[in-house]
């Protein structure tokens, strides 16, 4: 009897300390994650202005009607989608390609990885700033493209033409994150047992066949992870678009959703409508994460 009560006393004591250690986390995430999240959803139903002393008025779904009915919002959705697709496809293919090439190299692996990764060390703003100068009408980008296509003196309007600005932001992103995702893929490929590849080689499978029949299927957990990471990164892009537009590039083609939220809140001071877009963005991300969880669960079940 006595023994049991001291045992449960000890257990209780341990539980108490568990709560004490966890408490700062609970407090922090309640104030700085959960409360603002709920607040954003809540505010999306109110007519709330920044710096206004008037009490916000409940207006039901009017903000949603306004936002979802506005050309500007759909333009932002389009800009974000264009950017995401335009970055995803080349970034995914190139980083996978380089990862495969790097893993088959005998020497210089680390050097290549370090070189490819180096742009990722820079801040996003610095990366955008370098390209801002290279994409200048008199800059390197025009010189290079004209040299390759042998069309001297043509200005490709990298930062002034609507389509080209979109392309320019994509270039900055692919350039900056190529090495990062290459390394993720290299790590993933490293986990595939050599014996599988050797067996396939013995059976006469060539490198291309081995890639599609062995590497790609066995790499699935990494491909899912990388895909979701790229998609989430792209949907949250801000710095490049902000720097380019601040330096004179046209806003509409690169007015991605985060830039629109920022401008709606800080320039137009319309917190209610900014919250609608915030909520929509959140739902999108939630959907993506859900897909990722589903897919990785399925992978586990399959193994």
Partner 1 sequence: MTRLVPLREAAAPALRTVFVAASCAVVLVPLAFMLGSSFMPAIDIMRMPYRWIPETWMPANYLRALAGNDGTWMFLRNILNSVIVSSSIAVSTVVLSSIVGYGLAKFRFRGRDAVFMAIMGTMMIPFETVMIPLYLIIVKAGMQNSYAGLIVPFLMNAFGVFIMRQYLITFPEEMLDAARIDGCSEPRIFREIVFRNSGPAAATLAVLSFRQQWDNLLWPLLVAQEEKMKTIPAYIVKFAAEKHADEGAMMAVAVIASLPVFVLFFTLSKYFLGGSAVYQAGKE
Binding to partner 1 by residue 225, rule CB under 8 A?
Answer: yes
Among 52, 70, 187, 213, binds partner 1 (CB under 8 A): 187
Among 7, 89, 121, 196, binds partner 1 (CB under 8 A): 121
Binding to partner 1 by residue 145, rule CB under 8 A?
Answer: no
Binding segment for partner 1 (CB under 8 A), chosen from 1-9, 74-82, 133-141, 156-164, is 133-141
Task: Note whether 265 and 50 are within 8 A (CB).
Answer: yes
Binding to partner 1 by residue 271, rule CB under 8 A?
Answer: yes
Considering the complex, what minimum distance in angstroms separates the CB of residue 64 from partner 1? 15
Closer CB to partner 1, 126 or 164, in the complex: 126
Residue 254 DSSP symbol: G
Among 8, 39, 151, 213, binds partner 1 (CB under 8 A): 39
Binding to partner 1 by residue 105, rule CB under 8 A?
Answer: yes
Positions 74 through 103 that interact with partner 1 (CB under 8 A): 98, 101-102
Distances (CA, A) of 24 to 45, 132, 141, 231: 31, 43, 51, 32
Considering the complex, what minimum distance in angstroms separates the CB of residue 198 from partner 1? 17
Binding segment for partner 1 (CB under 8 A), chosen from 60-68, 194-202, 210-218, 261-269, is 261-269
Among 62, 117, 192, 251, binds partner 1 (CB under 8 A): 117
How far is Cα 163 from Cα 149, in angstroms, rounded to an integer? Answer: 20
Task: Note whether 50 and 275 are within 8 A (CB).
Answer: no
Binding to partner 1 by residue 2, rule CB under 8 A?
Answer: no
Binding to partner 1 by residue 132, rule CB under 8 A?
Answer: yes
How far is Cα 247 from Cα 245, in angstroms, rounded to an integer? Answer: 5
């Amino acid at each position: 009897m006595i023994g049991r009560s001291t045992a449960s006393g000890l257990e209780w004591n341990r539980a108490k300390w568990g709560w004490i250690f966890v408490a700062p986390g609970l407090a922090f995430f309640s104030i700085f994650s959960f409360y603002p999240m709920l607040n954003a959803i809540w505010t999306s139903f109110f007519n709330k202005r920044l710096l206004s002393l008037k009490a916000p008025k409940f207006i039901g779904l009017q903000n949603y009607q306004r936002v979802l009915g506005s050309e500007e919002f759909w333009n932002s959705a389009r800009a974000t989608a264009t950017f995401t697709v335009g970055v995803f496809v080349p970034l995914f293919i190139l980083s996978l390609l380089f990862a495969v090439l790097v893993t088959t190299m005998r020497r210089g692996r680390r050097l290549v990885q370090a070189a490819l990764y180096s742009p990722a060390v820079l801040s996003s703003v610095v990366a955008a700033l370098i390209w801002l100068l290279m994409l200048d009408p008199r800059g390197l980008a025009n010189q290079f493209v004209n040299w390759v296509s042998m069309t001297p003196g043509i200005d490709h309007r990298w930062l002034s033409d609507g389509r080209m600005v979109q392309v320019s932001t994509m270039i900055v992103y692919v350039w900056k994150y190529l090495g990062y995702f290459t390394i993720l893929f290299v790590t993933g490929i490293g986990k595939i047992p050599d014996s599988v590849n050797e067996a396939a080689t013995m059976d006469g499978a060539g490198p291309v066949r081995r890639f599609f029949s062995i590497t790609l299927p066995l790499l699935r957990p990494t491909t899912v992870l990388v895909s979701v990471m790229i998609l989430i990164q792209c949907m949250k892009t801000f710095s490049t678009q902000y720097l380019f537009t601040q330096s004179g590039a046209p806003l509409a083609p690169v007015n991605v959703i985060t830039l629109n939220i920022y401008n709606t809140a800080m320039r137009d001071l319309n917190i209610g409508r900014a919250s609608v877009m915030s909520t929509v963005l959140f739902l999108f991300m939630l959907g993506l994460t859900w897909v990722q969880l589903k897919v990785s669960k399925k992978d586990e079940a399959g193994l």
